[in-house]
Structure 1
C-alpha cells in the first residue's frame, strides 16, 4: 500500500513581482474575511474588499521581499523538508510519496492532492507544518486538502494530524538550537542582563473567541522550552498585523513587549515558524531589531532550524501510526479538540480518565 503524505503550509511568493504579491494577499484576505464579523458582506463584496486590502498592503510587502533578497525562501525550504521526510520514511521501510501543498502560493494544496491521486496512492495523510494548531492555518489547510482530494476523485482513506508542538524531539531541537546559537554568539542566557524573547505569530482574537486554543498552546510551549533551558523568566510578544484596524489581535504586540524588557540584550526566538520567511527575515531581523536598538537593547535573533537533522524524524514519528496501522494513542495522539472531524489526531488533547 502506497501512502501519500502531504506536508501542508501557508506559502509565500518567491518573487517580489507586484501581480504575484497582490494575488497572494488577495487570497489571504478573502479567505479570512470572517474576522471582520460583517454579516452584510456578500461574496462579491468580500472579493472587492480583499482586492482593496491587497492593493493597499502590497507595496509594503514587496519592499520587505526586496529587502530579504527578492522573495521568500519558505517554499524552497518546505520542498526540502518533504524530500527529507520521504527519505526518512523509506529508510524506516514504508512505501510513501511526499508532497508539499501551500494555502496561498504554488504548489497549491489542491495541486498536491491532484499529484497524489495521479500517482495512484492508496491513502493520504495530511500533515500541517504548523506546530501550534490554529483555525486559519492547521484547520484550513486540512480542509483544503480534503476538498482537493474530493475534486480529484480520490476514493481512499484520508488521515489527518493537527497540532504537534508537544513532540519531545521537536521541543528538544528548538531548545538546543537556542542554546547553540547563544553560545556561538557569546551570549549567556542565564545572565540577568539577557532576556529570552519569544516572538509568536499573532492571531485575531475572533478565532480565540470562537474557541481556538492557539494562545494557550503558545504560552505552554514557551514555558516548556524556557524550562528546558533552565530559565525562570522570559518575555512573550505576538507578531500582529494592522491591515484591518477594526480587527483585534493577540496581546501583547511584539513592539509593546520589547519596550518592557528590563535587560541589556534580547535573544529572540521565533515561535510558530519552521521556515525562514518575511515574518522572520523582515519583521524580526529588520523591524523588531530597529525597535529593540531604539530601546538600547543588543539584538540577537535565533535562526529557524528548518534543516535540523532531527526534524525529518519528528515528521516521520507523526506519520508512523498511520503508516504502520497501529492505535495512534500508543504515541499519545488523541482526537483533536480544535477540529470537529472524527479521526483527526493531535498531541494537544488531554488523555481520557483512566479506569
Structure 2
C-alpha cells in the first residue's frame, strides 16, 4: 500500500522576474482578501492586482539582494529527506511538494498523487506554528483539490506541532550552536530576540490562537536555554490598512537595552526573503544604526531531527495505529474529521 504525502508550503519566486513576482503577490492578496471586509469577486481581484503591482518593486529588490529565494529548493529537499526517512523505516511512501502561491501548486501535488494511484493521502504543511493563512489555508486547498478530482481516497491532515519536544529542542540547540560559534553568551549585554511572522489581527479576532502558539513556543525554547531574558517581535507586512500583531520586531530592536542582539526567526522553517532580506539586511541595518551588534540564527531546515519529527507525525496514518499514541488529536483550529494536531488537548 503506497502512501502519498503532500508536503505543503507557501512557495516563493526563485528570481526577481517581474511577472512571476506580481502574479505571486496577487495570489496572496486575493487569498486573504477577507481581512478587508466584504466585496465583490471582481473588486477583490482588482484590489489584489493593485496591491501586487504596488508591492512588487520592493520584493523584486529583495530577491535581487539575496540572489533569489531558496525557499522552494529547501522545501523540495525537506520532502526528499522525509521520503527517505520513511522508506528507511520500511514504509512505501511518495512525497509531493505543493505550494500555496507558486508552481507546483497544491492542486498539482494532489493531481500527481492521484495519477500515481497512491492508496492514501496525507497533507503535511511545513508550518510548525499553526496559522489560518498558512496551515489552515494550505490544507483547505488540498482538500478542495481532492474533492475536485472526485477522488475517494483515505485522507488525513496534520496541523500544529510546535509543542513537540524534539522541535523545541532542535530550535534551542540551533541557537546554542550559533552562540558558541560567535563566542557569545546570553546576558545583560547580549539579548535574544525571537522574530515571528506577523499576522493581521483580524485572524486573531476570528479565533486564531497563533499568537498564543508563538508565545508558548518561545517560552519553551528559552526555558531550554536556561531562561535568559528575551524579547519577541513580529515581522509585519503593512501592505494594507489593517492592524497587525505587535510589537514590530524593528521597534523591539530600536528599544533594546543591550550591546548586541541575537535574532532567531522562530516561525520560519526555511531560509527565504523574510529571513535573508528582512532580517539579514533590513533588521541588521536597524540594529547597527542603533549601535547594536547583530547575529542572526540560521534556520535548521535540514536538521535530521526535524526530518524525523515530520516522519513521526505521519507514521500513525501510514502504519495504521492510533494517532493518540503520538499525542495527535482532533484539531480545533481546523475542525475537520481528518485534521489532527498536537495542540488539541491543551485547547479544550
Q: TM-score, normalised by structure 1?
A: 0.96
The match for 2:46 is 48
Equivalent residue of 2:123, what SS? strand
Structure 1 CA distance for aligned equivalents of residues 327 and 177 of structure 2: 29
CA shift digits 1:268-315 (9 cap, x unpaired): 000111100000000000011111111111000000011112221010
Give the Å deviation of 1:138.
Answer: 0.4
Equivalent residue of 1:311, what SS? helix
The match for 2:189 is 193
Residue-pair matches, total: 348
**Segment of structure 1 superposing worse, 340-349 or 78-87:** 340-349
Alignment of 1:239-318 (within 5 A): 239-244=235-240, 246-318=241-313
Structure 1 CA distance for aligned equivalents of residues 150 and 307 of structure 2: 30
Determine whether 1:5 maps to 2:5: yes
CA shift digits 1:82-125 (9 cap, x unpaired): 00000000111111101111000011100000000011001100
Structure 1 CA distance for aligned equivalents of residues 148 and 337 of structure 2: 21
The match for 2:342 is 347
Give the Å deviation of 1:15.
Answer: 1.3
Equivalent residue of 1:310, what SS? helix
Give the Å deviation of 1:153.
Answer: 3.1
Give the Å deviation of 1:232.
Answer: 3.5
Determine whether 1:167 maps to 2:164: yes
Alignment of 1:1-355 (within 5 A): 1-37=1-37, 39=38, 41-69=39-67, 71-189=68-186, 191-244=187-240, 246-350=241-345
CA contact (8 A) 2:99 2:106 kept: yes
Moved over 4 A (4+): none
Structure 2 CA distance for aligned equivalents of residues 263 and 352 of structure 1: 36
Structure 1 CA distance for aligned equivalents of residues 335 and 327 of structure 2: 19
CA contact (8 A) 1:334 1:351 kept: no
Structure 1 CA distance for aligned equivalents of residues 188 and 347 of structure 2: 41
Structure 2: gaps spanning 5 or more residues: none
CA contact (8 A) 1:237 1:257 kept: yes
Structure 2 CA distance for aligned equivalents of residues 204 and 128 of structure 1: 20
Equivalent residue of 2:345, what SS? coil
Give the Å deviation of 1:351.
Answer: 5.6
CA contact (8 A) 2:155 2:338 kept: no
CA contact (8 A) 1:198 1:269 kept: yes
CA contact (8 A) 2:196 2:232 kept: yes
CA contact (8 A) 1:201 1:239 kept: yes
Structure 1: gaps spanning 5 or more residues: none
Structure 1 CA distance for aligned equivalents of residues 236 and 347 of structure 2: 35
Task: Give RMSD over aligned pairs.
Answer: 1.1
* Cα separation, partners in 2 of 1:352 and 1:134, compared to 1, 3 Å: closer
CA shift digits 1:222-262 (9 cap, x unpaired): 00000000023200000000111x20000001111112211
Equivalent residue of 1:350, what SS? helix
